[in-house]
A and B are shown apart, each in its own frame.
Chain A
Amino acid sequence: MINGLPVLWNKGFSFVSQKPQTLSVLEIEKGSYTVPTENFDNMLLNNPDELAIGNLEDFEKSFAYKTFKIDNGSIIGEGYLKEIEKENKGYYLRFAKRDFATKSGFSVATDKKFNIKKEELAIIQQHDPGLIKGEITEKVINLNKKKVTIKAGEYDLSKNGHDALIPTELVFQMKQSFPDDEPEKINTTIIPKDQTITVTSAIYNQAFDEDERGTIPVAEEVAIPYTVTFNQFTLPAAKYKVSAETLKVLSNYGIKHLHNPMLGSIVVNDDDDEKVTLNEKQFKRLVNDNPKLILSQIEDSQQNVSYTKFDLQKDSEIQLNFSDFLIFKKDKNFSPSSEKTHSYSGGGILGPIIGTACLVIICMTIALFTGIAAATYLNEYARKGGFTRIIRLAMLNLAGVPSIVFGLFGLGLFVMIAPVFSATPNVESKFHVPIVALGSAPDLRTLESEGIEIVDSTLSTTQAVETANLVGAKKFYNGWYYISFQGWGTCMLAGGFTLAIMVLPVIITSCEESLKAVPMGFREAAMALGATKWQSIRTAVLPYAFPGILTASILGITRVAGETAPIMFTAAAAEKSDLPWQGIHSSGFSAFVDFLQQSVQALPYHIYTVAGRIPQSEYTQPMQYGSVLVFMIIVFMLSAVSIYLRIKIRNRIKW
């Protein structure tokens, strides 16, 4: 608490309202800098000691924006679409077709020299003969390949040599594997038989050069000279339109564009008539590079961003969030003399708090529903005797199980083999059960992003799985809905269920106590009036057991909010840039399912990460103490709420 309070004091509300970020620690020379005010304020928050800042000047810069709508049928490069989606958070295009025929555009800002291989030039000449207007010169370079013969035996081999030999045809075995943190280590390799392979000079230098340590001695080597012809030409500064193959070639040589020549351009099929916004620079580039793009309803708008100009009066060490740092870098004056990053030490803990809240809500929903049902059954319906005793014994045992066992259990059950109802099941799933042949094929974007292979609907399930496996796809689709035991993956749902199982004994026990406390007379009176057993419980018992159940649930929440081990395996992600409700692109019920299928950051896991899994420094400490303090405050608040609610409701219902 002592260490945590100053952190909270300094950072204020921002600690709770910002997501965790990497902290950059920079040494800045004194000078004059201009940055957006928002980032300037963040910088002030991040630096607990007073920075020597003077000559503050606030002014506004305005930026021009264009708002427009993309018409159906436009052809747009993949990168440009992604940029639009990044700038306009609600926009997500489920395209169905890719286009390879259209030419893609790109610009060259200044005259650029190219030095490409002859084969590549041939491709360019084939597809875009008119592209290169200037002179093309040829240069022939002699290179050597080496054909080497290696005798069977055991030899020393360095890591470099090992990595170099992997893509060759050489058959060899390592006696030990190379550890990641000892790059200089020499291990032994076994060559099982005499082999002759051809390698380039580069690989030869790495693996066979006798001057180096850890290389394999060659019995024989033959040099095979070969030539590579390079062509040189210059493209003057201009805008160009080329086919995909040409663009593929040119991309290797430094052309800046956002197309994806491997997969092609995208055909726009936007049913929503949504308008999107880009700034001037992006808009210009979009229009230049996409000749077949059809836009309508183009409007100009302006946005004013306030900037602050300030003088740093002496060389100082400044802590900045990484995102602020990126923006600071845009100021050309800004060049730190040293730059260190510390993960998880900047920003706040909004993500973990939200994640914990989501987990707790899911967990309590499941636990309360199951727990109240179980307690009602045990108390009201079950025959008093051996069966209930066994259940109670089992519950007591369950309450004593260490939380890490729950984590592993959740991992095995929910993350890896829980059933999923889907038309595109995983190839890796443990078991498929076909249900009904009503599926509709997903759109192209989903197919690409999730690695779905569409197989013939006449194939049986096993054949479909095999086919998709051969192709290397992750999922398959053959028109049938399946129940597939593929697990839910690391997600909130798995975490929620695991936590629910953990807290179930507490809930069941307290619910039972609350039910027992309701006098028998109510049940008898209700039944004497002609109520069925369930009616009497629902209307004459459960409402009065409510205060106890409420207390139990708050107790459960308090316990569950702080658990680390169960969520570590089943739900928690150390780093997540979006909050759970951002980044979902479906709608309706599938949106809800997608929401639940995400992994989340969680507060206890965040504390664990910050304290245990990253290198410690004076910069990580504020985050640690602050997180723990906030966590304790939350727990105290929950307990206080529970006590208050319990008193208030108990006063209302008295008998």
Chain B
Amino acid sequence: MISIDNVSFSYDLGKTEVLRNISLEIPEKKVTSFIGPSGCGKSTLLRCLNRMNDLVETSRVTTGEIRIMGQDINGKDVDAIELRKHIGMVFQKYNPFPKSIYDNVAYGLRIQGIKNKKKLDEAVEASLRGAALWDEVKDRLKDSALGLSGGQQQRLCIARTMAVQPKIILMDEPCSALDPIATAKVEELITELREDYTIVIVTHSMQQASRISDRTAFFYLGELIEYEDTETIFQNPGVKRTEDYISGRFG
């Protein structure tokens, strides 16, 4: 689904490289997790996938290609805006707009110009159901989104992302700001979503990665150290550094 082919990346026009020669294949309709200590580049790589790094003017993919479904996403004829409609992103700090719940979920569709109320209603309901939030909010769709609890807000952000029906959902430490029960609900949601979406999740929690992901990639200082099935990584990693990291010997 996603081919990262010898990719290097820099935030300052190539002077210092934040990612070096990363190559990995992310399979379709599975959960892939990126783990590694802070500053190892996993969030950077995640944001490369939907070209969110374009917001920083001096960022460049200095070598290699990122291909999604066969197409180079940094190619000249690829519109980043269009790309982001097919790749959704959920952020570490949940950030629903200070609008109503309905408006939050419908935001992505309205941006695309869809105004038909019936279509919007259906899409909103489908997304909220998919995010396991419908039953909790169906009576107060017009209330402000900021009245929800933290976990609900994060699930609302996931519903918002799902409403535009992307093929890939990227999650950047989605549970790091949530309490354990909310975290568990989100993890449950991720395991359900796996059937319809390709999910790439960056996480600091080893336990979370081992619980919900199918494939795990371990990054360190901008390089990909090991990329295996999750079971292998967490029971018998091949590289000593991986083992040291997941055992808590450093990192």
A and B, direct touch (CB closer than 8 Å): yes
**A40 to B53 CA separation, bound complex (whole angstroms):** 78
Among the stretches B5-13, B83-91, B180-188, B211-219, the one at the interface with A is: B83-91
- Decide: A521 and B88 in contact? CB cutoff 8 A: no
The distance from the CB of B137 to the nearest CB of chain A, in whole angstroms, is: 18
Q: Give the contacting residue for A524; candidates B52, B88, B98; CB below 8 A.
A: B52
Among the stretches B26-34, B104-112, B231-239, the one at the interface with A is: B104-112
B108 neighbours in A (Cβ, 8 Å): 529-531
A527 neighbours in B (Cβ, 8 Å): 52, 55, 84
Assuming the A-B contacts A521-B93, A530-B108, are A383 and B161 also in contact, with contact meaning beta carbons closer than 8 angstroms in the complex?
A: no
A-B contact count (CB 8 A): 63
For A528, A531, A532, A544, the residue with the greatest tally of chain B CB atoms inside 10 Å of its CB is A528
Assuming the A-B contacts A525-B95, A527-B55, A530-B81, are A655 and B89 also in contact, with contact meaning beta carbons closer than 8 angstroms in the complex?
A: no
The distance from the CB of B243 to the nearest CB of chain A, in whole angstroms, is: 35
Could you give, for residues 69-109 of chain B, a 1 whenever the CB lies within 8 Å of some chain A CB and a 0 otherwise? Answer: 00000000000011011001101010101100000000110
Q: Give the contacting residue for B164; candidates A524, A530, A532, A539; CB below 8 A.
A: A530
The distance from the CB of B184 to the nearest CB of chain A, in whole angstroms, is: 24
- Decide: B98 and A530 in contact? CB cutoff 8 A: no
- Decide: B52 and A531 in contact? CB cutoff 8 A: no
A522 neighbours in B (Cβ, 8 Å): 95, 97
A532 neighbours in B (Cβ, 8 Å): 81
- Decide: A530 and B84 in contact? CB cutoff 8 A: yes
Residue B139 interfacial (CB < 8 Å): no
Chain A, range 306-350, C-beta contacts under 8 Å to B: none
**A108 to B55 CA separation, bound complex (whole angstroms):** 89
Chain A minimum-CB-distance residue to B87: A528
Residue A402 interfacial (CB < 8 Å): no
- Decide: B146 and A529 in contact? CB cutoff 8 A: no
**A336 to B161 CA separation, bound complex (whole angstroms):** 86
B111 neighbours in A (Cβ, 8 Å): 526, 529-531, 535, 539
The distance from the CB of B84 to the nearest CB of chain A, in whole angstroms, is: 5
- Decide: B107 and A526 in contact? CB cutoff 8 A: yes
**A539 to B110 CA separation, bound complex (whole angstroms):** 10
Residue B45 interfacial (CB < 8 Å): no
- Decide: A655 and B146 in contact? CB cutoff 8 A: yes
- Decide: A529 and B52 in contact? CB cutoff 8 A: no
Could you give, for residues 525-552 of chain A, a 1 whenever the CB lies within 8 Å of some chain B CB and a 0 otherwise? Answer: 1111111100100011000100000000
Assuming the A-B contacts A383-B57, A539-B107, A539-B111, are A528 and B98 also in contact, with contact meaning beta carbons closer than 8 angstroms in the complex?
A: no
Residue A519 interfacial (CB < 8 Å): yes
**A629 to B218 CA separation, bound complex (whole angstroms):** 73
**A2 to B50 CA separation, bound complex (whole angstroms):** 68
| A contact patch SS | helix
**A655 to B164 CA separation, bound complex (whole angstroms):** 24
Q: Give the contacting residue for B52; candidates A519, A521, A528, A655; CB below 8 A.
A: A528
**A506 to B33 CA separation, bound complex (whole angstroms):** 49
B82 neighbours in A (Cβ, 8 Å): 530
Chain A minimum-CB-distance residue to B58: A383
Chain A minimum-CB-distance residue to B95: A521
Could you give, for residues 105-126 of chain B, a 1 whenever the CB lies within 8 Å of some chain A CB and a 0 otherwise? Answer: 0011001100000000000000
- Decide: A654 and B146 in contact? CB cutoff 8 A: yes
- Decide: B55 and A524 in contact? CB cutoff 8 A: yes
The distance from the CB of B156 to the nearest CB of chain A, in whole angstroms, is: 11
Q: Give the contacting residue for A540; candidates B52, B97, B164; CB below 8 A.
A: B97
**A539 to B98 CA separation, bound complex (whole angstroms):** 11
Residue A166 interfacial (CB < 8 Å): no
- Decide: B161 and A529 in contact? CB cutoff 8 A: yes
Residue A653 interfacial (CB < 8 Å): yes
Chain B minimum-CB-distance residue to A531: B111
**A544 to B82 CA separation, bound complex (whole angstroms):** 26
- Decide: B91 and A525 in contact? CB cutoff 8 A: yes
The distance from the CB of B20 to the nearest CB of chain A, in whole angstroms, is: 25
| B contact patch SS | helix
B146 neighbours in A (Cβ, 8 Å): 654-655
Count chain A residues whose beta carbon lies closer than 8 angstroms to a beta carbon of B.
21
A528 neighbours in B (Cβ, 8 Å): 50, 52, 84, 88-89, 91, 161
The distance from the CB of B49 to the nearest CB of chain A, in whole angstroms, is: 11
- Decide: A530 and B112 in contact? CB cutoff 8 A: yes
Assuming the A-B contacts A531-B111, A539-B107, are A525 and B85 also in contact, with contact meaning beta carbons closer than 8 angstroms in the complex?
A: no
A530 neighbours in B (Cβ, 8 Å): 81-82, 84-85, 108, 111-112, 164
Residue B201 interfacial (CB < 8 Å): no
Chain A, range 447-469, C-beta contacts under 8 Å to B: none
The distance from the CB of A527 to the nearest CB of chain B, in whole angstroms, is: 7
A539 neighbours in B (Cβ, 8 Å): 107, 111
Chain A minimum-CB-distance residue to B50: A528
The distance from the CB of B73 to the nearest CB of chain A, in whole angstroms, is: 14
Residue B42 interfacial (CB < 8 Å): no
The distance from the CB of A655 to the nearest CB of chain B, in whole angstroms, is: 5
**A521 to B97 CA separation, bound complex (whole angstroms):** 9
The distance from the CB of A496 to the nearest CB of chain B, in whole angstroms, is: 34
The distance from the CB of A215 to the nearest CB of chain B, in whole angstroms, is: 85
Chain B minimum-CB-distance residue to A652: B98
- Decide: A525 and B97 in contact? CB cutoff 8 A: yes
Chain A minimum-CB-distance residue to B107: A529
B57 neighbours in A (Cβ, 8 Å): 383
B107 neighbours in A (Cβ, 8 Å): 526, 529, 539-540
Chain A minimum-CB-distance residue to B86: A530
Assuming the A-B contacts A524-B91, A535-B111, are A529 and B160 also in contact, with contact meaning beta carbons closer than 8 angstroms in the complex?
A: yes
Chain A minimum-CB-distance residue to B108: A529
B88 neighbours in A (Cβ, 8 Å): 528-529
Residue B157 interfacial (CB < 8 Å): yes
The distance from the CB of A304 to the nearest CB of chain B, in whole angstroms, is: 59
- Decide: A521 and B81 in contact? CB cutoff 8 A: no
The distance from the CB of A326 to the nearest CB of chain B, in whole angstroms, is: 62
For B57, B108, B161, the residue with the greatest tally of chain A CB atoms inside 10 Å of its CB is B108
**A526 to B104 CA separation, bound complex (whole angstroms):** 10
- Decide: B50 and A544 in contact? CB cutoff 8 A: no
**A539 to B93 CA separation, bound complex (whole angstroms):** 20
B98 neighbours in A (Cβ, 8 Å): 544, 653-655
Chain A minimum-CB-distance residue to B82: A530
Could you give, for residues 150-161 of chain B, a 1 whenever the CB lies within 8 Å of some chain A CB and a 0 otherwise? Answer: 000000010011
Could you give, for residues 397-425 of chain A, a 1 whenever the CB lies within 8 Å of some chain B CB and a 0 otherwise? Answer: 00000000000000000000000000000
- Decide: B112 and A525 in contact? CB cutoff 8 A: no
The distance from the CB of B51 to the nearest CB of chain A, in whole angstroms, is: 10
Chain A minimum-CB-distance residue to B104: A525
**A530 to B161 CA separation, bound complex (whole angstroms):** 10
**A544 to B50 CA separation, bound complex (whole angstroms):** 26
Q: Give the contacting residue for B84; candidates A383, A519, A529, A655; CB below 8 A.
A: A529
**A539 to B108 CA separation, bound complex (whole angstroms):** 11
A531 neighbours in B (Cβ, 8 Å): 81, 108, 111
Q: Give the contacting residue for B157; candidates A525, A535, A540, A655; CB below 8 A.
A: A525
Chain B minimum-CB-distance residue to A529: B108
The distance from the CB of B26 to the nearest CB of chain A, in whole angstroms, is: 18
**A500 to B32 CA separation, bound complex (whole angstroms):** 56
Other than the given A529-B85, A529-B88, A530-B85, 12 more pairs (CB < 8 A) read A383-B57, A521-B93, A525-B160, A528-B50, A529-B84, A529-B160, A529-B161, A530-B81, A532-B81, A535-B111, A539-B111, A540-B97
Q: Closest 10 CB pairs between A and B?
A: A521-B95, A530-B85, A529-B108, A528-B89, A530-B84, A531-B111, A525-B95, A655-B98, A653-B98, A532-B81
A-B contact pairs, 28 of them (CB 8 A): A521-B93, A521-B95, A523-B55, A524-B95, A525-B91, A526-B97, A526-B111, A527-B52, A527-B55, A527-B84, A528-B52, A529-B85, A529-B88, A529-B107, A529-B111, A530-B81, A530-B82, A530-B84, A530-B108, A530-B111, A530-B112, A530-B164, A531-B81, A531-B108, A531-B111, A539-B111, A540-B97, A655-B98
Interface residues of B (CB under 8 A from A): 50, 52, 55, 57, 81-82, 84-85, 88-89, 91, 93, 95, 97-98, 107-108, 111-112, 146, 157, 160-161, 164
